[in-house]
Amino acid sequence: MLYQIYEAQRSLMEPFADFAQAASKLYSNPLSPFGQHPLAQRMAASYDLIYRLGKDYEKPEFGIKTVDVDGVEVAIHERVEIDKPFCELRRFKRFSDDTATLNRLKEQPAVLIVSPLSGHYATLLRDTVRAMLKDHKVYITDWRNARMVPLEQGPFHLDTYVNYVQEFIRHLQSEYGNCHVISVCQPTVPVLAAVSLMASRGEPTPLTMTMMGGPIDARKSPTAVNNLAMNKSFEWFEANVIYRVPTSFPGAGRRVYPGFLQHSGFVAMNPDRHLSSHYDYFKHLIAGDDASAEAHRQFYDEYNAVLDMDADYYLDTIRIVFQEFGLVNGTWDVMSPDGVLERVRPEDIKTTAHFTIEGELDDISGSGQTEAAHGLCFNVPKARQKHLEVKGAGHYGIFSGRRWREVVYPQVRDFILQFNEPVAAARKSAGRSKAVAAARKSPATARATTPARARRK
């Protein structure tokens, strides 16, 4: 019922938000009679703020049209490589008329960026993608809003997430011989699971795996987010944060953790900071500081755009990652698409170099949570492991903003380059990867590690 109430309130607020937007334009237009009023600028700023507080925020676009590669402007074309019910594998294809630049682009490594499915859209990683495009072929997981997925598409579990990641990795391997994987925040856990399962089966694993600000071991330096997940019972979450999608959406009837509840939690973590930010925006409008006002709009256009998560996936994550600690305790079994339960064993990873990154001031994934991956992947030689703590950086600072561009990205780029397989060898191994992918399609090749069982709730 809460979801229906929220939608009714949103529909009621829509005309008031539209009115506030129109009023703001009237007061800010110097040719309008309202624009001649002595308090016109303040009135325009007030109505603009009301509009932004009341408007509905839809999924933003990546909007990356070009990037600069060694002084040459390279065109970017987005396209969907794989279309799954709950996710699109999106590629940022690069084009150039400069022959030398085009040859360099062809030789650069392929990278799969696994974006978080934790309330925001993949566009939250726009700055990550833009930086990576200078030196890499870039793919990203673009997760769908669960309320837009019809019930006939079936459920979405954490197991499904892991299987999606494996499929996407195999796709890049079949194209380029091998690839590199970057996971940001929440997906560090399912990505580590996906690579572990591939290693256990003897499949080629990515050359490198970069994990940024994620809850590999949420017991270490628990934050407010961790404490909530750990201190409330599984039944509490199922009873208090799970609702059915209203009939006005394609996913009507699907059980979800609504995005508006997630957004309320985001804001509740730092209410003073958000109030101060909105007041600063009001002052920027009055002062005519267009650059600062636009920066505020861009941030909140992204921050306020949220999506619903399928209830099965959300509850699986609460139980496995934050309550049972299945990954670090070695008790996590993942159901394959063939209906086989497979134990997640990070110790089976032996060749994939891994790089963990944490922010010194991260209030979502505490200190040591991501670094814990090194202890789990103990069969990877120390020379192929690296850890970075970014001084002065919060959670978002490790993948977006100045610290990402100036401190983190150069090290990520160099780490990938250090362990990148030579292009000739990669092309030679592409045939082997395709053969493995073909073999995986045959049920006879599935390695049963545990008898199949009914899917968990």
DSSP at 318:
I
The C-alpha angle 445, 451, 453, rounded to 5 degrees, equals 115
Percent of the chain with pLDDT over 70: 92
Phi (first) and psi of residue 138, to 5 degrees: -115, 130
- In this predicted structure, the answer to whether residue 447 has a pLDDT above a threshold of 70 is no
The answer to whether 379 and 350 are in contact (CB under 8 A) is yes
- In this predicted structure, the answer to whether residue 457 has a pLDDT above a threshold of 80 is no
- In this predicted structure, the answer to whether residue 448 has a pLDDT above a threshold of 80 is no
Q: What is the arithmetic mean of pLDDT over 361-385? A: 95
Q: What's the rounded Cα separation, in Å, for the pair 188 and 169?
A: 14
Tens-digit pLDDT profile for residues 47-100? 999 999 989 888 999 999 999 998 999 999 999 999 999 999 999 999 999 999
**Which residue did the predictor score with more confidence, 169 or 229?**
169
Mean pLDDT across the chain: 90
Phi (first) and psi of residue 439, to 5 degrees: -65, -35
Q: What's the rounded Cα separation, in Å, for the pair 280 and 191?
A: 39
Q: Give the confidence band of 424 by pLDDT, cuts at 50, 70, 90.
A: very low
CATH class label, 70-238+309-445: alpha beta
Q: Give the confidence band of 31 by pLDDT, cuts at 50, 70, 90.
A: confident
**Which residue did the predictor score with more confidence, 379 or 457?**
379
Q: What is the pLDDT of residue 422?
A: 59
Q: Give the confidence band of 273 by pLDDT, cuts at 50, 70, 90.
A: confident
Cα–chain center distance at 237: 22
**If 0-12 CB within 10 Å is exposed, 13-18 middle and 19+ buried, where does residue 451 land?**
exposed
CB atoms within 10 A of CB 8: 11
Q: Give the confidence band of 264 by pLDDT, cuts at 50, 70, 90.
A: confident
